[in-house]
């Protein structure tokens, strides 16, 4: 089955700087890659996703890149703000497989 690895496990950046979180996946059939943000005591909230027919997707300060050949994808957050502090999870699946396989999470701390 699918295995998703996520790095780093913790990340601290100064407010205003950029943050990058990387994930690798094992199943070459995977073609859908969502990113979730989870705040303390809450459920995961979808922040951006990408399908394998595109290499990059942007939404304001957030972008995701996908390298299908290398089987890795990354989350980029620019101009970080204190409210970006949370745990971020990447996940992978393929159309027809209803199960999302998650990475182990990255705790992002924005230092004011």
Partner 1 sequence: DTGVSQNPRHKITKRGQNVTFRCDPISEHNRLYWYRQTLGQGPEFLTYFQNEAQLEKSRLLSDRFSAERPKGSFSTLEIQRTEQGDSAMYLCASSGRQGQETQYFGPGTRLLVL
Which residues of the chain form contacts with partner 1 (CB under 8 A)? 4, 6, 32, 34, 36, 41-46, 49, 89, 91, 93, 95, 98-105
Order of strands across the sheet that contains 19-25: 4-7, 19-25, 72-77, 62-67, 56-59
38 alpha carbon, distance to own chain's centre? 11
> Cα 82–67–6 angle (5° rounding)?
45
Residue 84's SS3 state is helix
Q: Name which of 43 and 112 has its Cβ closer to partner 1.
A: 43
Tokens of 73: 């994808």
CB of 28 to partner 1, least distance (A): 17
Q: Name which of 96 and 112 has its Cβ closer to partner 1.
A: 96
CB of 73 to partner 1, least distance (A): 15
DSSP structural state of residue 38: E
CB of 98 to partner 1, least distance (A): 5
Q: Name which of 73 and 89 has its Cβ closer to partner 1.
A: 89
Q: Name which of 61 and 99 has its Cβ closer to partner 1.
A: 99
């Amino acid at each position: 089955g699918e295995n998703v690895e996520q790095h780093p496990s913790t990340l601290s950046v100064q407010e205003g700087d950029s943050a990058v979180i990387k994930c690798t996946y094992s199943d070459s059939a995977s073609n859908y890659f969502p990113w979730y943000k989870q705040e303390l005591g809450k459920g995961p909230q979808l922040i951006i996703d990408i399908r394998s027919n595109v290499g990059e997707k942007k939404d304001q300060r957030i972008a995701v890149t996908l390298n299908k050949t290398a089987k890795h994808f990354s989350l980029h957050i620019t101009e970080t703000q204190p409210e970006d502090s949370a745990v971020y999870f990447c996940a992978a699946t393929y159309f027809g497989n209803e199960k999302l396989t998650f990475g182990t999470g990255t705790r992002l701390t924005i230092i004011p």
